[in-house]
Structures are given as C-alpha cells and as structure tokens.
C-alpha cells in the first residue's frame, strides 16, 4: 500500500477548481457568532410562547412546553424528566409570578443538565495529540476536521490530517482541499486502503516530525453493521498503539437527527469509547435536542458545535445559547 503525503502548497489531485465558499465575516469571540446564527433560527421559527407566563400555570401550559421540547427532538423520556423537575419547582413556589418566569426556569433546568462538563479538547502532554472522529454517514466529520485543522493552524499549532475515510469516493480529495487551504499536512493512502494503517502512518509521521496534533477522519458507518464497527474498533486500537495515544474520540452527530442519535451514541461509545460530541448543522432549523438525552444517559460532554460550512463555523458548545435557541426565545 502506497501512502502519499501532501505538503502544504502541493496541488490537490482533483483537477477541477471548486469555487471556495463565500468568505464569511470574521468575529472575535465565539459567543456573538453562535448567537447570530441562532437568531436566524429564532426569526425563522415563530415564537411559541406568546401566551405562557401570562395567567395561570396549568397542565395545558405544561402540554405546550412538552410540545416545544418534543418538537426539538428532546424525546419523551428527557422531556418527562425535565417537566417533572419544573413542576416540582412550581409546586415549591420557586418559580416567580412574572411573565416569562416559567420559561426562565425551564431554560435553567436545561442548562443545569450540562453542568459540570469538561468541554475542553484534551491534549496529550507529549505531542502529538490524536483526535479520532467517528459517526454515521453524512453527519459532517470531514468538514468538521477541515474547520478544526484551519483553526488550530491559525492558533499556531502544527496539524497532521489523516484521511482515514478510505471507502467514500473522493473523500480524501475533500479532506485534501481543506488541508491545502490551511497548511496542514495530509496523510492519505490508496483508495480502499486499510484505514488503520493510514492513521497509524499519520501518527508516526506526526511523532517523527514533532507535530502538535493529528486529526483522524474515518468513514461514515451505520452502527448496526457489525463488520464496520469491528473495523472501527481496530482503527482505534491501532491509533492507540505507541507512539500514538488517542486523547479524544469525537462522535459527530447531526442536529437534524431524531431519536436515533441516542442509539448512535450508545453503540459508538460501546465500541470505541466516545469522549465527546460534536453537534453539527445547528445553523438549520433543527434544534439538536437529542443531545439532552445523550447527555442524560451517557454523560457525554458536547465539545463543539458546527453552525455552517465555513472555516469559522465551528465553535465551543455553550449551554446558555443552546437552551435559549431550543426554546426559541
């Protein structure tokens, strides 16, 4: 198996020139960016809580709240738990009588679910740090790696990107395009090559050249396919072999995913020990409420959020902004 390495500045193998995404305005901190994106969603979605908080809080009120949470893919179980907790607060008189008090309390309840999380991306003491990206098909693993590589390079780190998706047609080209643009090194193999070897080779290369970070892509795979999950187990095992040490296994979840997201999280965690979630496509109308259920059942922290297709559209997860967008106010 031949492994070709692309240095920054080398032409990508694909011949057509793809028009770059329209440049987006740069912003200093992440909070205004996320808020700006999410406000588009709020404008697009009619505010559901016109009436709530004005007048009596009764079961009809809670039904409306349930509908909002269910419509955000929070799921029956988590919705039930959150609203039970809210009911208790109301009974205990802990919710004020002013309009909007109930929503404020609900938002606080949601935010509380994310308390105590360590959302920092873990780096090894001895470089390179190795971050493996996993998930089902089409969720945005490759795009996330592209954005993250660019951001890390901009912060002064040396990045090696491993093209571990050896199955999808032109997946390596897609990643190469990102790597070339930002000056990360790409390590790739031949089509259909063993993904474990490609990633191992990337780790060896990064170790030998004292690079800071290896971002390893993997092919999208449906978690019910035993052979594909076996392959992923092997990928993790091999990536973890000295000189490598995988410090993050990031499960990428599409915000439009319904209850299946929980099944995905369960299976991938059981197979390769997921350390954190990247929630993508939050710039659409979907609220990504399934992460509440994932957090509740598996305790996985959400580390990053994808809010668009541009390089800057990857930001740290913020529970307050997330809860506000979920409730649409």
Partner 1 sequence: MFEILTGRFEEIFTRLRGRGRLTDADLAEALREIRVALLEGDVNLEVARELVEKIRSRASGAELERSLTPAQQVIKIVNAELIATLGGEQLRIAYAPKPPTVVLLAGLQGSGKTSAAAKLARWFVEQGRHPLLVAADLQRPAAVAQLRLLGHEVGAAVFSMPTDPVDVARRGVAEAVRVGRDVVVIDTAGRVSIDTALMDEVRAIGRATSPHYSFLVLDAMTGQDAVATAVAFHDALALDGVILTKLDGDARGGAALSVAKVVGRPIAFVSTGERPSDFEVFRPDRMASRILGMGDVLSLIERAEQTYDHEVAGRAVAHLRSGRFSLEDFHDQLQQMKRLGPFSGLVGMLPGMPREMRNASIEDSSVTRIEAVIRSMTPDERENPAIINGSRRTRIAAGSGTTPAEVNDLLNRFKEMQKLIRSSGMMAPVGPKGRRDKRKGGRVTPARSR
Longest dimension (CA), the chain: 71
Determine which residue in the list 72, 163, 272, 314 makes contact with partner 1, applying CB under 8 A. Answer: 72
The nearest distance, CB 201 to partner 1, in angstroms, is 21
Neighbours of 36 (CB within 10 A): 13
Q: Which is nearer to partner 1, 190 or 259 (CB)?
A: 259
75 near partner 1 (CB under 8 A): yes
Tokens at 39, concatenated: 């406000």
Report how far residue 216's alpha carbon sits from residue 232's, in angstroms, rounded to the nearest whole number. Answer: 12
**8-state DSSP, 151:** H
70 near partner 1 (CB under 8 A): yes
Given a contact cutoff of 8 angstroms between Cβ atoms, the answer to whether 161 and 184 are in contact is yes
Lookup result for tokens 């919710």 = 95
Determine which residue in the list 53, 113, 128, 140 makes contact with partner 1, applying CB under 8 A. Answer: 140
Determine which residue in the list 284, 297, 316, 329 makes contact with partner 1, applying CB under 8 A. Answer: 284
Report how far residue 288's alpha carbon sits from residue 269's, in angstroms, rounded to the nearest whole number. Answer: 19
218 near partner 1 (CB under 8 A): no
Q: Which is nearer to partner 1, 7 or 225 (CB)?
A: 225
49 near partner 1 (CB under 8 A): no
168 near partner 1 (CB under 8 A): yes
CA-CA distances (angstroms) from residue 282 to 2, 34, 111, 253, 308? 38, 9, 17, 10, 8
Q: Name the one range near partner 1 by CB under 8 A: 51-59, 88-96, 121-129, 259-267.
A: 259-267
Cα Rg of the chain, angstroms:
21
Tokens at 263, concatenated: 């099944």
112 near partner 1 (CB under 8 A): no
What is the binding site for partner 1 (CB under 8 A)? 14, 16-19, 21, 40-41, 44, 67, 70-73, 75-76, 136-140, 143, 146, 167-171, 173-174, 176-178, 222-227, 230, 254, 256-261, 263, 281, 283-287, 290, 309
């Amino acid at each position: 198996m031949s492994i070709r390495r692309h240095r920054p500045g080398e032409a990508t193998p694909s011949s057509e020139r793809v028009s770059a995404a329209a440049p987006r305005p740069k912003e200093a901190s992440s909070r205004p960016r996320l808020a700006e994106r999410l406000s588009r969603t709020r404008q697009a979605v009619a505010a559901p809580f016109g009436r709530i908080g004005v007048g009596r809080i009764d079961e009809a009120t809670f039904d409306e709240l349930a509908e909002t949470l269910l419509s955000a893919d929070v799921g029956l179980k988590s919705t039930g738990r959150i609203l039970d907790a809210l009911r208790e607060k109301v009974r205990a008189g802990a919710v004020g009588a002013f309009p909007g008090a109930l929503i404020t309390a609900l938002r606080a309840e949601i935010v509380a679910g994310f308390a105590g999380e360590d959302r920092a991306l873990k780096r090894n003491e001895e470089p390179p740090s190795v971050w493996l990206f996993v998930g089902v098909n089409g969720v945005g693993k490759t795009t996330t790696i592209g954005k993250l590589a660019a951001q890390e390079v901009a912060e002064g780190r040396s990045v090696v990107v491993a093209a571990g998706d050896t199955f999808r047609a032109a997946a390596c080209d897609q990643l190469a395009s990102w790597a070339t643009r930002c000056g990360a090194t790409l390590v790739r193999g031949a089509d259909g090559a063993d993904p474990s070897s490609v990633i191992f080779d990337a780790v060896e290369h990064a170790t030998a050249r004292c690079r800071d970070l290896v971002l390893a892509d993997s092919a999208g795979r449906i978690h019910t396919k035993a052979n594909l999950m076996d392959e992923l187990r092997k990928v993790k095992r091999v990536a973890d072999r000295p000189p490598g040490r995988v410090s993050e296994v990031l499960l990428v979840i599409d915000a439009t995913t319904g209850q299946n997201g929980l099944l995905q999280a369960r299976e991938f965690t059981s197979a390769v020990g997921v350390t954190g979630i990247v929630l993508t496509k939050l710039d659409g109308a979907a609220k990504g409420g399934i992460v509440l259920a994932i957090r509740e059942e598996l305790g996985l922290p959400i580390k990053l959020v994808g809010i668009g297709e541009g390089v800057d559209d990857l930001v740290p997860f913020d529970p307050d902004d997330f809860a506000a967008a979920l409730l649409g106010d």
